[in-house]
């Protein structure tokens, strides 16, 4: 009988990208990214080496998106589970930390501001029970992990045990994120309605708008992105990763040789959701707002485009794709805002037709062509 590891090797989509040269390039990229906040803090505006605060915040936001794309690549690129609802996990992580940030808002005198304005508007006199202990940072961090993880576990357990897969699973995830968005839009849920959470000014007692705090948040995001990449590679290069690859390529054969796909699907699904929730939590203090629009189905579909553009099943590809697509979005929404959705659709169509393995696949073919000529 052929083992699942042999099957996984036979059906592997892409070769290992993490060669010594690739690790060197990654290390250089991490060092360069880590230096940007220092260049913002060390050099005054107008200096040739000065990096603006806007650029630091923008790149920090892109790294949060890259982490979300990496999380989606784990389930889509390696396990073959196309999710159109990862935006809900991203937003839930943001809301979990946003609750702490809302309770940390203080007046000029340093005293807590009390109930948020949207609760006062509803004539509430105290925080609802599910806001308990959210004034503690460590508890909020725990919620960042547990809330997306618990939702993913419950949803995944029911879906995978029912053997829902393919396009049906994708549609259900899209319905899940849309239902969550409608729920959070309601004022009586206690999450700020359509305005969400905003007006943050303190985190762990520090001014959230100060350059030093923003630099710390930036470095924390970079560290978490690098850690997520290492963890994702450890998963995909292990025996578990081989099972996931076999699951993606032939689930029926995997079941035939004695493996239960549901357990493996559930594991990688929950890990992906938690990773996405952490990305959302890092996103909120750097952007300064979280509202139900982060749960929109459009955002989840954009995540799919990031992964496809960069190259799914490669780990590096989603990070590249998130940076490229969001860089283009930043330019389009400032120069030609009315054409951005057309451009996004064109990117996806061209990627599907001409770059099925994304940007990383194109770079690999170029490198292989040069090696062949040598």
CA distance 272 to 74: 7
Tens digits of per-residue pLDDT, 254-273? 999 889 899 999 999 999 99
Q: Say whether pLDDT at 112 is over 90.
A: no
pLDDT exceeds 80 at position 187: yes
pLDDT in tens, 48-96: 999 999 999 999 999 999 999 999 999 999 999 999 999 999 999 999 9
Q: Is 4 part of any domain? A: no
On the CB side of 331, CA atoms within 13 Å amount to 7
Phi and psi of 291, rounded to 5°? -145, 170
12 occurs within a structural domain: no
Could you tell me if residue 288 is inside a domain? yes
pTM of this prediction?
0.92
HEC readout, 147-188: HHHHHHHHHHHHHHHCCCCHHHHHHHHHHHHHHHHHHHHCHH
The DSSP code for 194 is: G
d(CA 304, CA 83): 8
- What residues does 106 pair with on adjacent strands? 112
Closest CA to 220 of 330, 141, 143: 141
Tell me if 77 is assigned to some domain.
Answer: yes
Q: How many domains does the chain have?
A: 1
Is 243 contained in some domain? Answer: yes
Assigned domain for 9 exists: no
Looking at residue 25, what is its pLDDT? 83
Q: What is the pLDDT of residue 51?
A: 94
* Eight-class DSSP state of 75: I
3-state SS, residue 319? helix
The SS3 of residue 83 is coil
In a domain, 2, yes or no: no
**What is the span of the domain harbouring residue 297?**
18-373
d(CA 112, CA 21): 51
Residue 363 lies in a domain: yes
């Amino acid at each position: 009988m052929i083992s699942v590891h042999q099957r996984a090797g036979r059906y592997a989509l892409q070769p290992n990208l993490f060669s010594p040269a690739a690790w060197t390039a990654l290390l250089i990229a991490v060092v360069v990214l880590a230096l940007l906040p220092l260049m913002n803090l060390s050099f005054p505006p107008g200096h040739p080496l000065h990096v603006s605060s806007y650029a630091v915040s923008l790149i920090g936001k892109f790294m949060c998106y890259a982490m979300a794309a990496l999380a989606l690549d784990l389930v889509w690129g390696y396990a073959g589970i196309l999710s159109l609802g990862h935006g809900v996990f991203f937003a839930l992580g943001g809301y979990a930390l946003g609750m702490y940030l809302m309770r940390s808002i203080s007046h000029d005198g340093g005293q807590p501001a009390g109930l948020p304005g949207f609760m006062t508007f509803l004539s509430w006199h105290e925080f609802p029970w599910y806001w308990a202990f959210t004034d503690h940072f460590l508890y909020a961090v725990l919620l960042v992990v547990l809330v997306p993880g618990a939702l993913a576990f419950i949803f995944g357990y029911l879906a995978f045990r029912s053997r829902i897969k393919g396009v049906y699973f994708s549609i259900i995830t899209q319905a899940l994120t849309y239902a969550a968005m409608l729920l959070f839009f309601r004022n009586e849920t206690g999450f700020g309605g359509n305005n969400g959470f905003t007006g943050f000014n303190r985190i762990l007692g520090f001014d959230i708008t100060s350059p030093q705090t923003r630099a710390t948040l930036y470095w924390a995001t970079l560290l978490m992105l690098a850690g997520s990449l290492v963890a994702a590679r450890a998963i995909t290069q292990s025996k578990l990763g081989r099972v996931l690859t076999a699951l993606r390529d032939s689930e029926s054969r995997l079941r035939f040789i004695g493996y239960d796909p549901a357990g493996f699907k559930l594991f990688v699904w929950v890990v992906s959701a938690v990773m996405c929730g952490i990305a959302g939590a890092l996103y909120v203090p750097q952007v300064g707002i979280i509202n139900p629009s982060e749960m929109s189905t459009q955002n989840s579909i954009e995540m799919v485009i990031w992964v496809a553009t960069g190259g799914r099943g490669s780990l590096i590809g989603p990070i590249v794709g998130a940076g490229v697509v969001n860089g283009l979005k930043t330019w389009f929404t400032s120069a030609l805002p009315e054409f951005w959705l057309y451009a996004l659709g064109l990117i996806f169509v061209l990627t599907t037709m001409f770059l099925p393995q994304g940007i990383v696949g194109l770079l690999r073919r170029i490198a292989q062509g040069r090696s062949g000529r040598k």
